[in-house]
Amino acid sequence: MSDKIPVTVLTGYLGAGKTTLLNRILTEQHGKKYAVIVNEFGEIGIDNDLVVGADEEVFEMNNGCICCTVRGDLIRIIEGLMKRRGKFDAIIVETTGLADPAPVAQTFFVDQDVSDKARLDAVVTVADAKWLTERLKDAPEAKNQIAFADVIILNKTDLVSPEELAEVEARIRAINPYATLHRTQRAAVPLDAVLGRNAFDLDRILAIEPAFLEEGEGHHHHHDHDHDHDHGCGPGCAHDHGGLKHYHDEHMQSVSIKLGEVDPEKFMPWINDLTQREGPKILRSKGILAFKNEPKRFVFQGVHMILDGDLQRDWKPGEERQSRLVFIGRDLDAEMIRAGAQACAA
């Protein structure tokens, strides 16, 4: 497993600071060599023989489903790079500002040749603190990139006031409360905050949870409201909850569920059926399950309809055998998902 090449997907709007970050990764002394797959070829002013131009060719798979897509060009490029795998330690895939990250991520789960040799490390989204709020209103792809991210680099914070910054962060959290968020100027973030995250590693899924599970106090409302679209909380509407601004996004929500032990005989058919039916709307899903009479934790993650799950380490002595599930998606029926999960209780 560990000799699989890690792949970081770098998304974000043109001008948000993606290229600045990429140039830093390529020039800073960190003792690692990166192969970079870029779309805006020529933007990188660095002569590097491991920079490869790509065409973002999104192919549908033959199951006739619109969400089941892969990047055909990426499969070919990774196959080519793997012939020279001694030349680099990791791969970075830059997507265009308009790209949906899902086909890129799905490529690493669906294509056997790719998944044998490379593993997705994290989806990193670079966002412009000044313009993101506007983009979230007029550009569905910007919302997708925020929703999909494991790490969000909120850049150019020097160009906004503290109030504006709080506002844009609240908007990000309305869509994706779970990503690790870094505020930066000139994309100056420690590179280990971006690279080597293991965000897709089933073993590490709990490790990124605190960011979303510890937002308990006064913040539970996002669970309670996200089915409640018609109460007037559109993207332009903010409540004040004890000084913390909270936004609702009209179409992109997250649903997080906590419950005790679950029955695998009920859970597996339910999650499979849910992701098959609602897959086009579910961008990301993750979960850690305490199966009844099972000493090990069951961990899963998904991108649209594609699920990857496994029994991982033992529950530790004294560790609460609690099941946790998270779904991020578009127009999710939170009530239905919640009820379905509750029905799996053991």
Partner 1 sequence: MSSPTPSITSLTQFVVEHAAGEHVVAAAFLKQTPTLALADGSVLLIVGEGAARKVEAHPDAGILTAASDGAALVTGGDDGRVVRTTADGATEEVGNSKGRWIDALAVSPSGALAWAAGKIVTARDDKGRLRTWQAPSTPQGLCFAPKGYRVAVSHYNGVSLWFPNTEAEPEKLEWKGSHLDVTWSADGRFVVTSMQENSLHGWRLPEKADMRMTGYPSKTRSFSWSHDGNWLATSGADAAIVWPFSSKEGPMGKPPRECGIRPAKVSRVAFHPGALVLAVGYEDGFILLVRLNDGAELLVRKADPERGAVTALAWDKRGKHLVFGTEGGAAGVLTLPA
Smallest CA-to-CA distance from 148 within 11, 36, 242 is with: 11
| Partner from partner 1, Zn ion, none binding residue 279, C-beta < 5-8 Å depending on class | Zn ion
Out of 68, 73, 301, 312, the residue judged to bind partner 1 by CB under 8 A: 73
The least CB distance from residue 276 to partner 1, in Å, is 18
- Using the rule CB under 8 A, is 134 a contact of partner 1? no
Is 266 one of the binding residues for Zn ion (CB under 5 A)? no
On the CB side of 140, CA atoms within 13 Å amount to 8
| 49 scored as a contact of partner 1 (CB under 8 A) | yes
72 binds partner 1 (CB under 8 A): yes
Nearer to partner 1, 81 or 205 (CB): 81
Rounded CA separation 102/70 (Å): 8
Type of residue numbered 76: R
Residue 229 is a binding residue for partner 1 (CB under 8 A): no
Residue 68 partner contact from partner 1, Zn ion, none using kind-dependent CB cut-offs of 5 to 8 Å: Zn ion
Looking at 30, 32, 33, 84, which residue binds partner 1 (CB under 8 A)? 84
Identify which range of 103-111, 161-169, 196-204, 279-287 contacts Zn ion by CB under 5 A.
279-287
Nearer to Zn ion (CB atom), residue 183 or residue 225: 225
Which residues, at least 6 apart from 174, have a Cβ–Cβ distance to it below 8 Å?
A: 222, 246, 247, 248, 249, 252
Q: Are 142 and 135 in contact (CB under 8 A)?
A: yes
Asked if 230 is part of the footprint of partner 1 (rule: CB under 8 A), the reply reads no
> Residue 312: enclosing H or E segment and its boundaries?
strand 306-314
Distances (CA, A) of 244 to 172, 236, 309: 14, 16, 36
Q: Find the binding residues for partner 1 in span 280-299 (CB under 8 A).
A: none
Nearest approach in angstroms of CB 133 to Zn ion is 18
Which one, of 278, 262, 266, lies nearest residue 325 by Cα? 262
DSSP string of 147-192, one letter each residue: HH-SEEEEE-GGGS-HHHHHHHHHHHHHH-SSSEEEE-STT---GG
Report residue 224 as tokens.
């309670």
Give the CB-side neighbour count of residue 239, counting CA atoms within 13 A: 16
Q: Which does 134 bind (CB under 5 to 8 A by kind): partner 1, Zn ion, none?
A: none
Which residue(s) pair with 311 in the sheet? 298
In the complex, the smallest distance separating the C-beta of residue 53 from partner 1, rounded to whole angstroms, is: 7
Query: Rounded distance, CA 153 to CA 126, Å?
Result: 5
Which window, 29-37, 95-103, 226-234, 285-293, contacts Zn ion (CB under 5 A)? 226-234
CB closer to partner 1 out of 43 and 57:
57
| Residue 282 host element (H or E) | strand 282-289
CB 282 to partner 1: min, Å = 23
CB 72 to partner 1: min, Å = 5
Determine if 67 is a binding residue for Zn ion (CB under 5 A): yes
Residues binding partner 1 (CB under 8 A): 49, 52-53, 55, 57, 59, 61-62, 70, 72-73, 75-77, 80, 83-84, 111-113
